[in-house]
Amino acid sequence: MKKVAILGFGTVGGGVAEILERNAEVIERHAGEKLELSYIVDLRDMPDNPFAGKMVKDFAVVENDPETAVVVEAIGGCGAALQFVRRALAAGKSVVTSNKQLVAEHGQELTALAQEHGCNFLFEASVGGGIPLLHPINRCLGANEIYEITGILNGTTNYILTQMLENGESFESALKEAQKLGYAEQNPAADVEGIDAGRKICILSDLAFGKNIAPEDVQMQGITGIAPEDAAFAEAGGMKLKLLGRTVMRDGKLYVFVAPHFVPAESPLAPVSDVYNAVLVRGSDVGETMFYGLGAGRYPTASAVLGDVIDIVANPGRRQPALWSADGKKPLGPESFEAQYFIRTKERKSEAEKCLGHIRWLPDQEGWHGGITGVTTKKAIAKTCLELAACWPVMD
């Protein structure tokens, strides 16, 4: 029997505890032995909690318990969570987390610390929620040279854009609806400014290319600058407007960024709507493959967390190596990324073509001109004297 402790009893932590109890027989069958919840660390008093008998307030109880082999971090952020994870790993306890900020900002340090102390630091649930993603990329596609990972990595922004495209709602109206439904926080900045997607694409880039990519080195553009006209132009052009996180290796140069994109209808990412996530991976031998599903939520995320716990228990002695090097160079951003670009402007079309060459113009929307350029870069477009209200890449 292996004992598991949970740090934090919020959405994810509570889901882990519930599934651990409800699906005990299934988990035991896959893990090869019984898993038992030893402690839940939370500073709040919750006497009516069905797991009240497991609650403690002092992490040292877990840290000093020789029978607790695996710690699930479900606190979030990089404050107490980082401190406790470091201490757990130093004590030789494997750690599983869904905390993308922790992994994106400190993953290289924590995987190395786990290796040093003969334990594991796993984080399947940190990207894509319940979608099996990191393990398949790291192991199942391990024989491939990865060329690109592009994904719809944030369900909140995808929901908002779906409402704008399909129902003609404004950004503000769609955001309020997302908050009402519980998809967006009252302070939605991490979602709508692209920060959440940025942390996730850093993790994917780290795994795919083996070099540490710091979030502060990645340009993250969210959806706050998108107008209903942009969604209408996308629809008129037979495309969908999506917020994409991208890590692309081209000619030995690594591009990592988050930005709104026009996605052609034939792309498998185009029909992904509502709160769903999807990640497209291009590899040397597998070709193009896509992972799809709910990217967040209590039970999907807890499911992925427990998948990592089962992996640790079922494979004793197998150590997760430090997955990426700390000496990663700063990635390039969208300014030098070659692609076709959508532009929205009130400049004369002839003037735009004089500056940018041939443009495939789309039907005008509310007094705006919108069109698709030839292959260029944002830097080249910015060097012109055109006044543009929007400039988004078109996914190739």
Same domain membership, residue 80 and residue 24: yes
User: 18 and 102 in one domain?
Assistant: yes
- Confirm whether pTM is higher than 0.85: yes
Catalytic position from the list 2, 93, 100, 200: 200
Q: 257, 279, 314 — which closes off a domain?
A: 314
Please check whether residues 167 and 181 belong to one and the same domain: yes
Known active-site residue 200 = yes
Q: What is the CA radius of gyration of the chain?
A: 23
The conformation of residue 42, written as its DSSP 8-state character, comes to: -
Give the Cα separation of 176 and 79 in Å (integer). 30
CATH number for the domain that contains residue 347: 3.30.70
pLDDT digits (tens, 9 = 90+) for 57-72: 999 999 999 999 999 9
Burial class (CB in 10 A: 0-12, 13-18, 19+), 88: buried
Residue 3 has pLDDT above 80, yes or no: yes
Query: Do 162 and 206 lie in a common domain?
Result: yes
Q: Which residue has the higher pLDDT, 49 or 75?
A: 75
- Residue 29 is predicted with a pLDDT of 97
Contacts of 100 (CB under 8 A, 6+ apart): 126, 127, 196, 199, 200, 203
Domain that holds residue 88: 2-130+298-314
Read off the CATH number of the domain in which 68 is found.
3.40.50.720
- Residue 114 included in any domain: yes
What pLDDT is attached to residue 185? 85
332 assigned to some structural domain: no
Do 221 and 258 belong to one domain?
yes
Q: How far apart are CA 340 and CA 316, in angstroms?
A: 49
Residues 181, 116, single domain; the answer is no
161 plus 265 within the same structural domain? yes
Residue 24 placed within a domain: yes
Q: 22 and 113 share a domain?
A: yes
26 band by pLDDT with thresholds 50, 70 and 90: very high
Domain boundary among 251, 282, 314: 314
Residues 20 and 51: their CA atoms lie apart, in Å, by: 12
**Does one domain contain both 138 and 265?**
yes
Query: What single-letter DSSP state applies at residue 365?
Result: E
pLDDT, one tens digit per residue, over 150-195 is 999 999 999 999 998 888 888 999 999 999 888 888 899 999 999 9
* Total number of domains in the chain: 3
